[in-house]
Structure 1
C-alpha cells in the first residue's frame, strides 16, 4: 500500500482527535475483553456441567479450565497473524478484523448445544470457538495499544496507553454484572438451561458498536511515516525473532504477574468460592464486581505515575506488593468471611491495575515501528500462556492437594518472575516511537 493510497482511504484527511483515538482504543478492548471474560465466568459456573459429563464437580471444573486455557494457546497465533498484517497493511484494518473474529466466535458459543443434546460434538465445537476467541484477542490488544501510544503527545504515552488497559476492567464489570443480573433473576435450572447463553449472544450488539467506532478512525502517524519512508519489513515475525528476541521474552515475562493476579482472583476464586466456600453464585459475582472497581481506579493512577517516574519503578513496586499479597491468600480467601474475601479480591485486582497500566506504553516502546504491532502483541500473549492459560488449572490442583497456601505461593512466584524481567529491562519512558 503506497502512502498516497493510504491517505486517500483515511477519514478526516488522516487526522483523528484525541478523544476519538482514546475512545476507539478503549471501546474495542472493552468489548473484546467482555467477550473473553464472559467465557471465563461461564467456565467457573456452568461450562463443566453443561459440556462435560463427569460425576465429580472437581473433574468438571478441571475440564472447563482446560477449555479456558485453549484460548491462551491461540492468542500468540493471533498475534503472529494479525501482527503481520498490522505491521504490513496498517493498524486500523487489522483491528477491525480482530474484532470481527472475536465477536463471531463469542456469539456462536451462545448457540452451541450442550452434551445432553449432541454428545461429544458439543465440547469439540466449544473448543473450536474458544480457539477462535483466542485468535481474535491475540490480534486486538497490540493494535489498540499502538493506536493509543502512536498518537500520544510527548510525555503522555503512559496516560494514552492506559485507555486500552481500562478495557479489561470495564469488560469484566460488564460481563460479571450481566451474569450477576441473570443469577439474581433466574432459577438455577433456568440459568443452566439457557440463561448463561445470554451474555454470549449480547456480544453481537456490542461488536457492531465497536466496528462502527473503529471504521471512523484514521491510520496512526507512526505507521503512515513508516510507509512513506518504506521502512516496513516483509516478514515482521522473522525480523522480530531475529533481532528483538530478548525484548519480546522480557516483555512476556513482565506480563506474567498481571495475568496471574487477575485470573487467580477471578476465575479460580469464583470457582473456589462457590464450590468450596459455598458462597451463593450471585453473592460472589457481586464481590468481584465491587473489587474490579479498584482495578479500574488503580489503572489511571499507575499510568500517571509511569509517565512521571518511569515504567520500571512503578512495575517494581507493583511486583513486590504482589509477591507479598500471595501470603495473604489463605488467611483472607480461605477464611470464608465475606469481608475478608472482599478484601483479598480488592487487593489482588488493585495490584493487577497497578502492574497492568504501564504495559500499554511499555510493550510498544520495546519495538520499532516496523515490528511494533507484532512485537507488542506477541509479548503480551506469550505472557498469557505463562501467566493465565494454566493458572486456574494449576491453582485448582494446588488447592486440592495442598490448600490455598500453595495457591498463594504460586501467585508470589509468578510475581517474582515478572520482577526479575522488569529489573533486566531498560527504561523506555523517553523512547521515541517514530
Structure 2
C-alpha cells in the first residue's frame, strides 16, 4: 500500500525534506569509487599472486601442473562464501542500513589481505600455510559478497532518476580501478624485485600496502550519509523483518535470471582479474613466454580501457536503456572473446595488450549498467538482499572457477580453443538472461512505490 501523499519524497529531496545537493552526491560518488577500488584492489592482488607465485610457494608438493590448478582453486573457493557474505550483508543492510555494511566489509577485507602478506610459506610451516591462505581468502570472499550491494545502493539511491546509470557506474569502475592498482603495484614490484627476489618478498609488498588504503577508504566512507531510501524506511519503521525469506518467497526466479546476467560478464572478466592470462602468458614452459612485468603492464592498460567503457556504458544506459546497452555489450564481448587468444598466442606484447583492450570494451558495456539494472529490479524493502545475493550467485556461476576451468581445458587439450568456446557460451548465457528481463529504467525506487516495484520484470510473469 502506498503512503499518504504528504509523506512522499519528491525526486531530488531527502526523506527529511531537504534538497540533496550536488556536493552531497559528489561525496557519495567519490566515497563509493574509493571504497570499491580499495576492496577490489585487495581481492585482485590475491588473484594476481595466485597466477604468479602461490603455486610455487604454497602448493609445490602437489607437482608443477597440479599446484597451479590448486592455486587457482583457492581463488574460486572464496566465491563459494560470497553468498554467505551477501546473505549476512543483505540482512544487515535491509534492517540497519547500507552505510554500516560498507564500513564492516571494508575492514574485514583489509585485515584479511594484510595477513596474507605476512603468511609463512609451505617451506616454513608445511600444510598450515595453504590452510591459513585459504582461510584468509574465504574472509575476502565474505567481504566481497557484502561490499558490492551496499556500494551500489548508496550510489543509485542517492542519484537523480535520469542519472542512475551514471551514478551506478561509480562503484562499477572501482573494479577496473582496483585491477589497475593491483596490476600496477604488482608490476612495479616485479621491476624492483625481479626473479627470485619477487618470489621471496616482492609479492608481499602489495598485500601489506592494503593497511594504508583501508585507512583512507574508512575515513572517506565515514563522511557519507545513509541512503535516503533506507532512511525513509527506517523513519517509517517499515524495515522487513526477514528480507531474505521474502526475497526467495516472491522473487526466486528473478534472482536466478539476474545472476545469469552477471555470470556472463564475470566468467570472461576473470581471465585477467582471476589471474589466468597473467599465468598463461608468463609460463616459461608455455607457448607465449612473456615477462611478468610486461604482462602486468598490459593488464594495467586494459584496466584503464575497462574503466572508460564501464563509465560510458553507465552514462549511455540513461539514454537508451539498460537492456539495449547490455545487448550491445554482449555482441562486443563475444567479438572480444574470439579475438583474445589468437592475439595472446602470437607471443607479441603489443598483440596481447590489443587483445585485452578489445575484450574490455564488451566487458565495460556489460558491467557499467549493472548497478542501475539490479537496483531497479527489486522492491525497496528487500533491495539490498536482492542485489547482493544475485551478484554473489552470479559470481559463483561465472568467475569463481573460470581460471581453474581454463587451466584444466588447456592442460587436457593443449589448446586454448576450448577456453574460447567456454567463454563464448557464458557470453551467450548472459545475453539470453538479459533478453528475459524488461527494461525498468527510471522506475521509482522509494518505499511509496513498492506495489509497482513488486511487479515482475521477467517477461511472461505478472508477479514475481
Pick the TM interval, shorter chain.
Answer: over 0.9
Match of 1:283 in 2: 294
Post-superposition Cα deviations, 1:108-161, rounded to whole Å, max 9, x if no partner, equal 111110000100000000000000000111110100000000000121000000
* 1:143 match: 150
Determine the structure 2 residue equivalent to 1:431.
Answer: 443
Aligned 8 A contact 2:158 2:228 in 1: yes
- How big is the shift at 1:55? 6.2
Task: Give the CA RMSD over aligned residues.
Answer: 1.6
Shift of residue 432, structure 1, vs aligned partner: 1.1
Aligned counterpart, 2:377: 366
The answer to whether the 8 A contact 2:33-2:171 is kept is yes
Partner of 2:207: 200
SS of the residue corresponding to residue 119 of structure 2 reads coil
Matches for 1:203-218 after TM superposition, within 5 Å: 203-218=210-225
Work out the CA distance in 2 between the residues paired with 1:53 and 1:427: 50
> Is the CA contact (8 Å cut-off) linking 1:179 and 1:196 kept in structure 2?
yes
Q: Does 1:45 align with 2:56?
A: no
| Inter-partner Cα distance in structure 1 for 2:121 and 2:205 | 15
The C-alpha deviation readout for 1:37-69, integer Å capped at 9, x for no partner, is 010100010011010123643222101001111
Q: Does the Cα contact within 8 Å between 1:325 and 1:348 map onto a contact in 2?
A: yes
Cα distance in structure 2, aligned partners of 1:290 and 1:194: 25
Q: 1:399 aligns with which of 400, 403, 410?
A: 410
**Pairwise CA distance, 1:225:** 1.1
Residue 364 of structure 2 aligns with which residue?
A: 353
Find the aligned partners of 2:342 and 2:297 in 1 and give their Cα distance: 21
Match status 1:418 vs 2:418: no
The aligned counterpart of 1:260 is 267
TM-score scaled by length of structure 1: 0.95
Q: Tell me the CA shift for residue 324 of structure 1.
A: 3.0
Aligned partner of residue 158 in structure 2, secondary structure? coil
Q: Does structure 2 conserve the Cα–Cα contact (< 8 Å) formed by 1:261 and 1:349?
A: no
| Residue 197 of structure 1: how far off its partner (Å) | 0.8
1:323 shift after superposition: 2.3
2:186 aligns with: 179
The residue that corresponds to 2:122 in the other structure is 115
How is 1:218-233 mapped onto 2 (pairs within 5 angstroms)? 218-233=225-240
Structure 2: stretches of 5+ with no match in the other structure: 1-15, 447-464
Corresponding position: 1:311 with 2:318: no
Query: Gaps spanning 5+ residues in structure 1: where?
Result: 1-9
Matched, 1:129 2:130: no
Q: 2:251 aligns with which of 229, 244, 249?
A: 244
Name the CA distance, whole Å, in 2 between partners of 1:335 and 1:348: 16
Number of aligned residue pairs: 424
Provide the C-alpha distance between the structure 2 equivalents of 1:53 and 1:25, rounded to a whole number of angstroms. 39
Q: Write the deviation string for residues 177-224 of structure 1: whole angstroms up to 9, x where unpaired.
A: 111111011132211111111111110111111111111111111011
> What secondary structure is seen at the aligned counterpart in 1 of 2:430?
helix
Which SS does the other structure have where 1:430 is aligned? coil
347, 355, 377: which one aligns with 2:388: 377
SS in structure 2 opposite 1:307?
A: helix
